[in-house]
């Protein structure tokens, strides 16, 4: 999308887990199209500050918050609204810790952490921002799922990311017409490929081999889709999940 078309000017975006990696890329995309961005971080204000320093425009802010607890989500949204002096127009539920611990070895505390930080956090944040969006007659919620939603070897992470898709559909039904709710499911992201080696040393090579696009998706690829879902061109798209994986999820005979 052309950076000379600031279709988000005057909008306020809250992106959870935005102090690094994909969240930071989404923050840059939003800012490049005119949004003021609340960059959520959990533990590193310095990292969030570095992201903000690289954003186009002004009026951006770092907002602390732990999405693994209900209280943390409420405090995060309230603090973002206070600092930005506005209600939230765009919510990107990006935070979502990963796990591949087999169910037979998975402790209940880890299950709760992965589920709460992904699914429950998205539901709570959406519930919190929806009234303000409805009052203004416009809102965009984008949930970040993952290619893991289509796999069956990523344990509770698969469960959580699959649930994000169903949550998206239900929220779209409940929150229309003023608010659209969509989901993006990135495949293995190139910049994070090294992180998978500790879990499965051949995962990346297998993924590329079966991907019609012949490469891994990048953070910029994913951020571009998130941005597009908040543009006028997608006003009639809601309840959709967009896989951004170069076709890696497709079965090959």
Residues with catalytic function:
157
Q: What are the phi and psi torsion angles at 129 (to 5°)?
A: -90, -20
**Sheet of strand 241-244: strand arrangement:** 61-64, 36-41, 12-15, 90-93, 139-144, 179-186, 241-244
- Taking the C-alpha atoms of residue 70 and residue 28, their distance in angstroms, rounded to an integer, is 27
């Amino acid at each position: 999308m052309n950076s000379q078309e600031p279709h988000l000017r005057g909008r306020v975006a809250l992106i959870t887990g935005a102090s690094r990696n994909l969240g930071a890329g989404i923050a840059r995309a939003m800012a490049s199209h005119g949004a003021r961005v609340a960059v959520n971080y959990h533990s590193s204000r310095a990292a969030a500050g570095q992201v903000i320093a690289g954003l186009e425009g002004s009026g951006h802010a770092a907002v602390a918050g732990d999405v693994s607890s209900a209280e943390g989500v409420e405090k995060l949204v309230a603090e973002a609204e206070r600092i930005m002096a506005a209600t939230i127009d765009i919510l990107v539920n990006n935070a979502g810790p990963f796990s591949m611990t087999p169910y037979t070895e998975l402790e209940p505390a880890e299950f709760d952490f992965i589920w709460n930080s992904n699914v429950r956090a998205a539901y709570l944040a959406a519930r919190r921002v929806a009234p303000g969006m409805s009052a203004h007659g416009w809102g965009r919620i984008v949930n970040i799922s993952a290619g893991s939603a289509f796999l069956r070897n990523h344990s509770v992470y698969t469960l959580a990311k699959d649930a994000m898709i169903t949550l998206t559909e239900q929220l779209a039904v409940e929150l229309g017409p003023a608010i659209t709710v969509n989901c993006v499911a990135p495949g293995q992201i190139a910049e994070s490929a090294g992180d998978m080696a500790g879990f499965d040393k051949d995962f990346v090579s297998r993924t590329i081999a079966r991907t019609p696009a012949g490469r891994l998706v990048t953070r910029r690829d994913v951020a571009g889709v998130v941005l597009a879902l908040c543009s006028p061109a997608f006003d009639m798209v809601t309840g959709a999940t967009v896989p951004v994986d170069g076709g890696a999820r497709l079965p090959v005979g």
